[in-house]
């Protein structure tokens, strides 16, 4: 059986979504993705490169490296919470609803990692 492109419920081969609500939510996601896709990409690149730069700077200046890495983690996590844009591979395998949920969980984990880095710094180096 074919599955709904949004929620992964089984549907007939002549349909794409199981209900109008699923179609509305999927359309809303794709409109948001098109609207904020470039902003998402720019922030993603800055944060993904900022984390290793912060970790590289840590031996030279512990406070600068820690702050840079943790701020990049928190910003990246917040962005993933509010703009959960999973990859096309995730969407095709898990469908849109579950992919967005997993992306939000990853975002929350990245925020926790940022706070863990800051906590590690204050616990061991202050």
Least Cα distance to 37 among 47, 46, 29 occurs for: 29
Structure tokens of 4?
């709904």
Question: pLDDT-based confidence at 3, cuts 50/70/90?
Answer: very high
Is the separation of the CB atoms in 123 and 115 below 8 Å? no
Digit-coded pLDDT (tens) for 64-81: 999 999 999 999 999 999
Over the chain, what is the mean pLDDT? 94
Cα–Cα distance list, 38 to 33, 71, 83 (Å): 9, 21, 12
The domains of the chain are located at: 20-125
Residue 125's pLDDT is 82
Quickly count: other Cβ atoms within 10 Å of residue 90's Cβ. Answer: 16
Digit-coded pLDDT (tens) for 31-57: 999 999 999 999 999 999 999 999 999
Digit-coded pLDDT (tens) for 101-110: 999 999 999 9
Q: For the chain, what percent of residues have pLDDT higher than 70?
A: 99
Least Cα distance to 115 among 71, 76, 83 occurs for: 71
Helix (H, G, I), strand (E, B) or coil at 77: helix
């Amino acid at each position: 059986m074919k599955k709904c492109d949004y929620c992964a419920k089984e549907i007939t081969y002549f349909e794409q979504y199981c209900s109008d609500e699923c179609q509305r939510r999927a359309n809303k996601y794709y409109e948001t993705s098109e609207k904020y896709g470039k902003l998402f990409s720019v922030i993603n690149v800055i944060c993904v490169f900022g984390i290793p730069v912060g970790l590289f700077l840590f031996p030279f200046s512990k406070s600068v490296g820690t702050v840079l890495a943790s701020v990049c983690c928190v910003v990246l996590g917040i962005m993933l919470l509010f703009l959960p844009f999973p990859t096309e591979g995730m969407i095709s395998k898990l469908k849109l609803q579950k992919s967005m949920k997993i992306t939000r969980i990853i975002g929350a984990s990245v925020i926790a990692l940022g706070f863990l880095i800051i906590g590690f710094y204050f616990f061991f180096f202050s």
